[in-house]
Amino acid sequence: MDKPLNNKAWFLVLPVFLLVAFSALLPLMTVVNYAFQDTFGNNQFFWAGTDWFEKLLHSERFGEALIRQILFSALILAIEVPLGIAVALCMPRKGIWVPICLVLMALPLLIPWNVVGTIWQIFGRVDIGLLGHVLYNLGIDYNYTQDPLSAWITVVVMDVWHWTSLVALLCYAGLQSIPDAFYQAARIDGASRWSVFRHIQLPKMDRVLLIAVLLRFMDSFMIYTEPFVVTGGGPGNSTTFLSIDLVKMAIGQFDLGPAAAMSLIYFLIILLMSWVFYTVMTKQDEGQTHVKTGGGE
């Protein structure tokens, strides 16, 4: 006879849920309020309806910032996920080097975002930065303050350096969960290194890869501090992502109505794309599980 479910444990996390809901709902209500109104100061608001949303969706500035944001997130996922898997495969599974590697991989994750931006801002300067000075002496035309391509390369490499460790550590956790019996069976069958990766390691990492992709997508799509510290959105608007453009609109121009509408659209885009990522990857995982269990017969 099955034991009755005990749901009393939910009461232990209920205060956390209430606190998070309180701290999230109040700002959201404020943003929604501003998104449908206009103000000229002195706490005087005027109903604007959906005007801000219509203007944003037809705005060339918003479209360009959105394209830059999507391109940046696509580059980050295309680089960090394969690189993180490769690093995890190279990490030792046993011995004294395991804790050493884990500590070294976790070091970039412990550095605050504004410090990361400051490090790369100095590191890439042509006059005093090691990277910029070396590239300049090698005859490479590199200047992230004047060249859009150099600025993009700097921002992408900075994010890869900062966050690839997260993907690697998640993949390493998935690899550590694989029993040795799987590898022994593969050696008996004479499986190649690629076959072991494709049929044993990669399927065992699918859940952690889902988490890694979702985390890296959401974080890269909302990135603000690092590129703002390094380039300020420049040169020109070449690295002005949605987050930077939103802050410029809200604080720099004090256009609260358009900024609130833009933040809601921004939130819905992240929510929608995260849902698409999650749905596609979980459906694929369910299909693989269905085939392995013989459900297709």
Measure the CA dihedral 165/124/245/218, to 10°. -10
* Region at 59 (left for phi over 0; alpha for psi -120 to 50; beta for the rest): beta
Residue 70 token pair: 């999507």
> HEC string of 103-157?
HHHHHHHHCCHHHHHHHHHHHCCCCCCHHHHHHHHCCCCCCCCCCHHHHHHHHHH
Residue 144 token pair: 């992230």
What is the SS3 assignment for 239? coil
Confidence band for 284, pLDDT divided at 50, 70 and 90: low
The pLDDT of residue 297 is 43
Confidence band for 154, pLDDT divided at 50, 70 and 90: very high
**What count of Cα atoms within 13 Å lies in the side-chain half-sphere of residue 245?**
25
Confidence band for 116, pLDDT divided at 50, 70 and 90: very high
Stated length of the chain: 297
5 DSSP assignment? P
pLDDT, tens digit, 9 for 90 and up, residues 193-236: 999 998 889 888 888 888 898 889 989 998 999 999 999 888 98
The pLDDT of residue 294 is 54
Residue 206 token pair: 């699918």
Segment 30-41 shows an average pLDDT of 80
Predicted TM-score (pTM) of the model is 0.84
Query: DSSP readout, 149-179?
Result: HHHHHHHHHHHHHHHHHHHHHHHHHHHHTS-
From residue 125, alpha-carbon distances to 135, 151, 167 in Å are: 10, 11, 29
* Percent share of the chain, pLDDT over 70: 91
Tell whether the model's pLDDT for residue 242 goes beyond 80: yes
Which domains are delineated in the chain?
A: 60-292 (1.10.3720.10)
